[in-house]
Structures are given as structure tokens and as C-alpha cells.
Structure 1
């Protein structure tokens, strides 16, 4: 999985890159069809915000994490992205199965009408 990392009012250094690659390696293993992930780390009003966006099976998925410290904000966003990907995967699997319809057979109705219940 390719990770496109950029910073807004934050200098992105090697330790941040390594931490992000480590966090998202688990997600890449669980969802091997993910091709790329866009990560934007920004700092505004003494809060770090991490925005994640990706495409998974035809749907655009995004997640954000906020915290006063950068590393918990990354962990927060990773947790939300994992939950969103699992939800999307569940939706796709549910659409593959045919749902049985609740119907009453016509034969049973006809047989009850023919019976002499008096």
C-alpha cells in the first residue's frame, strides 16, 4: 500500500513517516485490496488533526483523528479508518447474499379453504 503523507503547519520527518507506516501496516494486511492512502497531518489551535482518505472497493472512505499530541491523533485516526473499512467490507458481503423472502405458500391457503372445519 502506498502512503501519501503531507503536513500542514507540521514538519513531516522520518520518525513520523515510520510511525505512520507501522500503524497502517496492520490495516494493509487486513485489507490487501487497498492501493493507496492519503494522510494529511495538520496543526491548528494547538490541536493535531490527522485526515485519512482512501478508496476501498468503489467507495471513498475517510477518517479524522484529533488530539493535543500528534501520535495519539494518528492512532485515533487509524482506529476510525479500520472501523470504517470493516463496515464497508460488511456491507459488500451482505449484498452478495440473497435474502429469503417471507411468503406463505398458496397451496396451504387453498387447503385450509377446502377443509370442513365445522
Structure 2
């Protein structure tokens, strides 16, 4: 799994990087078929008095891409909200995969077994 963490109008400290990696471990515990994760952290300034922190992630899976974004006043709160949303999305994708893969039919009904 490749992990890329980048900042937009924001300096990434080692503490922020470790926080994101620790939080992503929770998602990887539930589903380990992840190819690539790209996390973008940034600051949006729609108005000078209202600074919002933004966190977004793109998770590439086999045959699918999950995109989640979150906004908050605090960067750590935005990351926490992002990870909660991502965890729900990954679990939903995992249950879809498991529901799609049906058990194989071993014998057709009414067919006699040959010994």
C-alpha cells in the first residue's frame, strides 16, 4: 500500500503525519486490499474571519475509488471526521463484496450422487 500525505497552504509537521498514519491503521484493520491512499490536508479561506480546515482522501481499491472529504475548525477534528466517514465507506464496500460472492452450488437439486 502506498501512502501519500500532502498539504495545501499548510506545513505538514511530523506530528500530523503520524496522527494520520495512526488513524488510517483503523481503516486498514477492517479492509487490507488497499492499493493506494492519497491524503490532502489544507486550509480554506472563504472569508478572512472564517478559516476552515479541510481534509480529503482518495483510496484506490481493486476496481473502485473512494473519495471522502471533511471540514472543521480544527485540523485534528477534520481528520477524525474524515476517518470516521472513510471507515463507514470501506465497511460498506467490504459488505458489498462479501454479499456478491455467493457460495458455490456443490450439487444440483434432484441429481443423484455417483459413488
TM-score w.r.t. the length of structure 2 is: 0.79
Q: Which has the larger radius of gyration?
A: 1
* Cα distance per residue 1:72-105 (max 9 Å; x no partner): 100100111110011111111121127xxxxxxx
After superposition, the CA RMSD in angstroms is 1.3
Larger relative strand fraction: 2
In structure 1, the gaps of 5 or more residues are 99-118
Query: Structure 2: how far apart are the matches of 1:65 and 1:3?
Result: 19
Larger relative helix fraction: 1
Q: Runs of 4 or more off by more than 3 Å in structure 1?
A: none
In structure 2, the gaps of 5 or more residues are 46-50, 104-115
Using CA pairs below 8 Å that are at least 6 residues apart, which structure has the higher relative contact order?
A: 2
For these two proteins, the number of residue pairs brought into alignment is 98
* Aligned twin of 2:13: 13
